[in-house]
Amino acid sequence: MILRDRFALGNSLACAKSTHYPRPVLRTRFARALALLAALHLIGGHWVVIQSVAWVTMIVDQSQDATLVEAIGKTFDGRNPCPLCKAVATGQDQERERQDDIVETGSKLIAVLSVEAPAAPRSFSEVNYFPRSASERSVDGTLLSPPPRAV
């Protein structure tokens, strides 16, 4: 009876431990998804998503008055952009200007920090730690012998 209760308690603790902590697979997937989102943001993927939403919205709006082919043509001709398209273009221009400012500041910083002082010529002396002589000797001074031959 006592062994059965103890075994049941042990199983319930094991189950509680396994369900209490998230599985490593979920953490790995979350980390990968987060890294992917960060990479997309760094390369400007957020602008692509917003622009795609704007295009789909324009196609849906214009297809109510005309055929789908005409709506797609009007959407991508560039003559009448929607407010969201204008906002994306403005945001991309502002981002490019900020990047240009960063590049200019970085090049100024490199120009200031890259001053090199002339170095004195180095003279190297050849150090012979193990001089070779007529009778080859090991480090401890004993004569070297060839390795034994297999018979």
In a domain, 151, yes or no: no
Whether residue 7 is found in the same domain as residue 37: yes
Residue 36 sits in the same domain as residue 73: no
Question: Which pLDDT score, from 0 to 100, does residue 60 have?
Answer: 93
Three-state secondary structure call for residue 119: coil
- Domain of 63 in residue numbering reads as 44-112
pLDDT computed for residue 44 by the predictor? 83
pLDDT of residue 59: 93
Residues 84 and 51 reside in one and the same domain? yes
Sequential DSSP letters for 116-150: -PPPPPP------SS---SS-B-TTSPBP-PPPPP
Q: What is the reported pTM? A: 0.47
Residues 53 and 84 in one domain: yes
Query: Would you tell me how many other CB atoms lie within 10 Å of the CB of residue 95?
Result: 12
H/E stretch holding 16 reads helix 2-20
Q: Which residue ranges in the chain fall short of pLDDT 50?
A: 6, 16
Q: Please, what's the largest Cα pairwise distance for the chain?
A: 102
Q: How many domains does the chain have?
A: 2
* 3 state SS of 78: coil
Please give the angle made by the CA atoms of 124, 130 and 133, to the nearest 5 degrees: 115
